[in-house]
Chains A and B, each alone.
Chain A
Amino acid sequence: MIQKFASPARFMRLSQVLLPWMAGLTVAFAAVGLYLGLVVAPADYQQGESVRIMYIHVPAAWMALFCYAAMAIAAAVGLIWKHPLADLAAKSTAPVGAAFTFLALFTGAMWGKPMWGTWWVWDARLTSMLVLFFLYLGYIALVNAFDNPARGIKASSILVLVGFVNVPIIKFSVEWWNTLHQPASVLKIGGPSIHSSMLWPLLLMALAFTAYYLWVLLLRLRGEIIANKVRVLRLRRVHGQA
């Protein structure tokens, strides 16, 4: 199974087929999700219209964690089985995850100003998300720090696995430390505690973000493979002249 998908040529063929589907799914889910979230869903009795920020904020925060977990799995697969595509997948996920983390922090600040009366508080959830953002930045810096790209990928794969300790801390921070950020209301024991008119747009936006991630991941992976090809061709030409 794993070996089957290790061939870049096969991946290029497969991704060619999948790309338009992912793009279409992203647009479709986002269109329906945004319509339900911005037009159909009612305003919150307490938060008013600002509750609609949640339809971006919550999926972005989920994706920030999801991308890190995906990176950690890809890095582990790459280190254990020396799987070339897994290595590249970890590298290609990092900027997307960093962008989702930034989006979650940014929309959170925009929501926090009217609701909490402040852009930022040093509460456990916010602080651990900020640390996640720094971990992404550290990964991106390390993966690009070496002249030999293979060495950069291996070193940063180890870093991702070390940084993974932060993921459970973020998930459970609102339960371990009872601070300003509200605890989970969707992914919890006993089922979601929000009304279906708000749950649906939230889930659709989460699907849209996931499809978007897969879409960009495929694009970036194709880019990485083509860049590798260009590097090999250049080297061959240099050696051919010598």
Chain B
Amino acid sequence: MRRFWGIVRRDLRLALRQGMDSLMAVMFFVIAVVLFPLGVGPESNILARIAAGVIWVAALLASMLSLERLFETDFEDGSLELLSLMPLPLEAVVMAKVTAHWLTTGLPLIVAAPLLAVLMNMDGGGFSVLVLALILGTPSLSLVGAVGAALILGSGRGGMLLSLLVLPLFIPVLIFGVSAVDAAITGFPVRAQLLILGAFLLAALPLCPWTSAAALRQALE
């Protein structure tokens, strides 16, 4: 456990010292959402209607953009090989890196989301559910994305390839995340959607580190 938190601390420190890196994902998130009122037009009822979808899609893209570098830098400078030689199972190393990724990108996204919901003129009833759905959904995004990030190692084709692999797998999270917020705004119960998001997270939690560790072993061979 001490080693696990050691890796988390290392990744957090790296992200903070490089400064802008983790902020960049949030800035992308904000700018991408702000583009919509400019593109669709500022009529408040249209914006309110599409708010949940726009925020979720932007969160998906922001989280995916930052995933590209999850293993890439460690793979290039060889520290991934050292991490794999640690007395810690590779699955736990992946889990630690995913935790650090979520803390540096997922968490800031959740903090920024209500602010953007105000800008998008979202109905007040959706705020708490939006945050709750993001809390359940963004860790799944980091976990599933880690599999994609491990698979593309060494291909030298980072971002575009990763989006092709990972975005189709993000779709369920998007569908239930948006429908939870929409249900809350129209006054329907949101329990079912939140439970499904939770189920995704619980399924991804053991399966994704296992798969990405398998992919990392292939890359390190």
Q: Give A contacts to B, CB under 8 Å.
A: 127, 131, 134-135, 137-138, 141-142, 145-146, 151-152, 154-156, 158-159, 161-163, 166
Contacts and interface: CB of A to CB of B under 8 A. Distances in A.
Interface size class of B (residues with CB under 8 A): 10 to 19
A100 B147 CA distance: 27
Contacts of A166: 168
A134 B168 contact: yes
A162 B143 CA distance: 12
Nearest to A146: B155
A156 B168 CA distance: 15
A147 to B, nearest CB: 8
Given A131-B171, A155-B215, A141 B164 contact: yes
A161 B208 CA distance: 12
Contacts of A156: 151
Interface string B144-178: 00010001101101000100110111010000000
Would you call the interface of chain B mostly helix, strand, loop, or mixed?
helix
Contacts of B219: 151, 155
Contacts of A151: 154, 218-219, 221
Contacts of B169: 162-163
A172 B183 CA distance: 24
B140 to A, nearest CB: 13
Given A151-B154, A154-B218, A158-B147, 10 more contacts: A138-B164, A142-B155, A145-B155, A145-B161, A151-B221, A158-B215, A159-B165, A162-B211, A163-B169, A166-B168
Given A137-B164, A141-B164, A142-B161, A158 B171 contact: no
A138 B218 contact: no
Contacts of A161: 211
Nearest to B153: A155
B214 interface: yes
A135 B168 contact: yes
A129 to B, nearest CB: 12
Contacts of B147: 158, 162
Given A142-B161, A145-B157, A155 B168 contact: no
Contact of A158 (B154, B157, B211): B211
A131 B151 contact: no
Contacts of A141: 161, 164-165
Contacts of B165: 138, 141-142, 159
Contacts of A162: 147, 169, 211
Contacts of A154: 218
A131 B147 CA distance: 18
Nearest to A158: B215
12 contacts: A134-B167, A142-B161, A145-B157, A145-B161, A151-B218, A151-B221, A154-B218, A155-B152, A155-B219, A156-B151, A159-B151, A159-B165
A146 B154 contact: yes
Nearest to A141: B164
B184 to A, nearest CB: 20
B170 to A, nearest CB: 10
Nearest to A134: B168
Name the residue among A134, A155, A163 with the largest chain B CB count within 10 angstroms: A155
B214 A145 contact: no
B168 A163 contact: yes
With a 10 A CB-CB cut-off, give which of A127, A146, A161 has the most chain B CB atoms.
Answer: A146
Given A142-B161, A151-B154, A158 B214 contact: yes
A83 B214 CA distance: 18
